A and B are shown apart, each in its own frame.
Chain A
Amino acid sequence: DAGVIQSPRHEVTEMGQEVTLRCKPISGHDYLFWYRQTMMRGLELLIYFNNNVPIDDSGMPEDRFSAKMPNASFSTLKIQPSEPRDSAVYFCASRRAGNSVYHPTTDTQYFGPGTRLTVL
């Protein structure tokens, strides 16, 4: 398996422009997560999906951010309009369902390589 795939790996844009980040989770994984990582705030969960349905978007910073998962193999995170404070590394992660304490589970979240976003 190729693992979680993200594109682009680097994005440089100007303030006010729309930015779209893309993620392809590992095949068969039911959960997909979008994280943002900065030096100041560390690793923040923005939103996650279960079976393509958004479950918790309380981490999305504001209305400029939106995320979709039209099918099991693709998700997007969109920022419109972008601002310099959105500059960060954005990670996508996926995992399979399963949460039993007593069986080898599939709790592991597998991260993609990240997209480094710079908004000028």
Chain B
Amino acid sequence: GENVEQHPSTLSVQEGDSAVIKCTYSDSASNYFPWYKQELGKRPQLIIDIRSNVGEKKDQRIAVTLNKTAKHFSLHITETQPEDSAVYFCAARQMDSNYQLIWGAGTKLIIKP
């Protein structure tokens, strides 16, 4: 079955700098890769997703890139702000199990003032 690995587990960046979180997946048939943000004490919420028919997607300061050959996808946050501090989860959709998401372990992003 699908396996998703996420790195790093914790990332600390200076406010205004960029942050990159990377995930690798094992099932080459996976075709949907969302990113969820979970603020402290809150629920996970989708911030951006990408499907296997595109290589990059942007939404203001966040972007996701997908490399199907290498089976990895990354979240990029530019011009980080204090409100970006949260735990970020990546996931991949498993093709052979009713299309359910397989989740990464999460990355705690800390924005230093």
Judged by a CB distance under 8 angstroms, whether A50 is at the interface is: yes
B100 and A45 contacting across the interface, CB-CB below 8 Å? yes
Using CB atoms and an 8 Å cutoff, list the residues of chain A in contact with chain B.
42-43, 45, 48, 50, 55-56, 91, 99, 101-102, 105, 107-109, 111-114
* Contact B106–A101 (Cβ < 8 Å): no
Contact check, A50 vs B43: say whether CB atoms are below 8 A apart: no
CB contacts (< 8 Å) of A105 on chain B: these are 32
Q: Which residues of B contact A91 (CB under 8 A)?
A: 43-44
Which partner residue on chain A sits nearest B101 by CB separation? A109
With A42-B105, A42-B106, A45-B100 known as contacts, the answer to whether A111 contacts B44 (CB < 8 A) is yes
| Interchain nearest-CB distance for B111 vs A (Å) | 21
**Bound-state Cα–Cα, A42 to B108, Å:** 12
Residues of B within 8 A of A43 (CB): 44, 89, 103, 106
How does the 8 Å CB contact mask read for B29-59 relative to A, with 1 for contact and 0 for none?
A: 0011010000000111110010111000000
Query: Which residues of B have CB within 8 Å of A45?
Result: 100-101, 103
Within the complex, what minimum Cβ distance (angstroms) separates A111 from chain B? 4
B18 to chain A, nearest CB (A): 25
Q: List 16 A-B contacts (CB under 8 A).
A: A42-B105, A43-B89, A56-B98, A99-B32, A101-B31, A101-B52, A105-B32, A107-B34, A107-B99, A108-B46, A109-B46, A109-B101, A111-B43, A111-B44, A113-B42, A114-B43
Given contacts A43-B106, A48-B100, A101-B51, contact A111 B45 (CB under 8 A): yes
B60 within 8 A of A: no
